[in-house]
Amino acid sequence: MPDPRAAPRLSGDELRLDSTKSPKAIDLIGQDGPSRGKTQRGIYELSGDTLKVCLPLDETGARPTSFVTKVGLKVATITFKRTAEVRPTPPVAGLADRRRQNDLKQIGLAYHNYFSANNRAPSKVEDLAPFYESSVELTRSLKSGDIVFFYGVGLREMKAGTSNTVLAYEKAVPTTGGYALFGDGSVKMLTPAQFKSAVKAKR
The model's pLDDT over 161-182, given as tens digits with 9 standing for 90+, comes to 999 999 999 999 999 999 999 9
Work out the pLDDT band at 5, boundaries 50, 70, 90.
very low
- In whole numbers, what is the pLDDT of the chain averaged over residues? 85
Q: Does the pLDDT value for residue 149 go beyond 70?
A: yes
Pairing of strands 24-29, 39-47: antiparallel
pLDDT for the residue 121: 95
Cα–Cα distance between 32 and 9 in angstroms, integer?
A: 11
HSE-CB for 104 with a 13 A CA cutoff: 28
pLDDT for the residue 163: 94
pLDDT for the residue 13: 66
Q: The whole model's pTM is what? A: 0.55
Cα–Cα distance between 85 and 81 in angstroms, integer?
A: 12
Work out the pLDDT band at 14, boundaries 50, 70, 90.
confident
Task: Provide mean pLDDT across the span 31-50.
Answer: 82
Alpha-helix residue ranges (DSSP H) falling in 145-198:
173-176, 192-197
pLDDT for the residue 119: 93
* Residue-level length of the chain: 203
Q: Which residues pair with 14 in a beta bridge?
A: 29
Cα–Cα distance between 9 and 58 in angstroms, integer?
A: 10
* Single-letter code of the amino acid located at 133: E
pLDDT for the residue 86: 60
Q: What digits encode the pLDDT tens for the residues 86-137?
A: 665 555 557 788 889 999 999 999 999 999 999 999 999 999 999 988 889 9
Q: Does the pLDDT value for residue 203 go beyond 70?
A: no
